[in-house]
């Protein structure tokens, strides 16, 4: 009886973590095919200029994206935000948020869908969405946007992708909003009774190591009542970065109501920091 119990415990402690690791993409990514990107444009008020564009990927596919900008105030020297969204939904669901973001920051913003999202071909994985992020970055450069004018804004899981892109490309700076410090750290929080899950996840989305090596400004923003990615994760990510990294706590904000509670002051701050980072990059 005791041997059977020990066997079952061992099976759970080893077998379940291995299964979670093997099927991690299904645990991490929740893409929505609908509404289509074209439909998302119908939810915009018309207060900004926005175009639906296609971003080419290295394997010949395309990714849907919104290229949005304010009607006035954007010049060739202005920052351009590459917005990397979280792990669920698609860009059409975020169209109203994009409108508020662009108007609040005053910055041109490219918001794109990863592979498997919004009707895009392909299936998301850590490697695939990182390639997608790089393709979106490179599409801006191909249009003539200087790399040091591009600010990477990552939301939730998108922050991990933003840091991965920043490791491969020169940029003006990175904003990590509602971010985890590492997938391993999150695994330990979600599955504290399965420590092997954390061990297996050590090499995945290692944001904390990337923050330590980041050679450009970093701003970490996090809601104090985030019940999906705890506030402590944002604190840990910020603590690992250079002393110049900035931490912006948003009092009372959770994971999904971050922008609503952060308010226009937060978006103004992001616009100010982006412009300052681009000026700093131009001086180097």
What is the model's pLDDT at position 194? 52
What is the model's pLDDT at position 202? 57
What is the model's pLDDT at position 8? 46
> Do the beta carbons of residue 80 and residue 110 sit within 8 Å?
yes
What is the model's pLDDT at position 87? 94
> In the chain, which residues have pLDDT < 70?
1-25, 27, 186-188, 190-203
Taking the domains of the chain in order of start, what are their residue ranges?
2-283
List active site positions.
156, 226, 255
CA 92 to chain centre: 16
What is the model's pLDDT at position 7? 41
> 108-112 and 62-69: which strand pairing?
antiparallel
- The pair of three-digit structure tokens given for residue 220, joined into one six-digit string: 């970490």
- The pair of three-digit structure tokens given for residue 152, joined into one six-digit string: 């990477």
What is the model's pLDDT at position 187? 65
Largest CA distance in the chain: 75
What is the model's pLDDT at position 47? 83
Indicate whether this model's pTM tops 0.95: no
CATH 3.30.565.10 applies to domain 2-283: no
What is the model's pLDDT at position 9? 45
Residue 136 CB: number of other CB atoms within 10 A?
25
């Amino acid at each position: 009886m005791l041997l059977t119990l020990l066997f079952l415990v061992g099976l759970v402690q080893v077998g379940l973590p291995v299964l979670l690791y093997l099927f991690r993409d299904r645990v991490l990514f929740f893409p929505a095919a609908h509404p289509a990107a074209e439909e998302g444009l119908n939810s915009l008020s018309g207060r900004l200029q926005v175009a639906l564009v296609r971003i080419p990927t290295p394997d010949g596919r395309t990714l849907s994206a919104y290229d949005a900008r304010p009607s006035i105030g954007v010049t060739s020297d202005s920052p351009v935000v590459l917005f990397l969204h979280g792990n669920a939904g698609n860009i059409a669901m975020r169209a109203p948020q994009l409108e508020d973001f662009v108007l609040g920051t005053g910055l041109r913003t490219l918001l794109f869908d990863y592979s498997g999202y919004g009707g895009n071909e392909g299936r998301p994985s850590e490697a695939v969405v990182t390639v997608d992020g790089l393709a979106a970055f490179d599409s801006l450069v191909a249009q003539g946007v200087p790399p040091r004018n591009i600010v990477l804004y990552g939301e939730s899981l998108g922050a991990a992708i933003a840091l991965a892109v920043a490791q491969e490309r020169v940029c003006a700076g990175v904003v990590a909003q509602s971010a985890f410090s590492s997938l391993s750290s999150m695994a330990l929080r979600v599955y504290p009774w399965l420590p092997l899950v954390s061990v297996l996840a050590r090499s995945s989305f290692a944001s904390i190591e990337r923050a330590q090596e980041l050679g450009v400004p970093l701003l970490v923003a996090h809601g104090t009542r985030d019940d999906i990615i705890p506030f402590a994760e944002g604190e840990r990510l910020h603590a690992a970065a250079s002393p110049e990294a900035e931490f912006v706590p948003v009092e009372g904000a959770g994971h999904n109501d971050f922008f609503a509670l952060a308010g226009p002051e937060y978006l103004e701050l992001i616009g100010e920091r982006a412009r300052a980072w681009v000026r700093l990059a131009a001086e180097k």
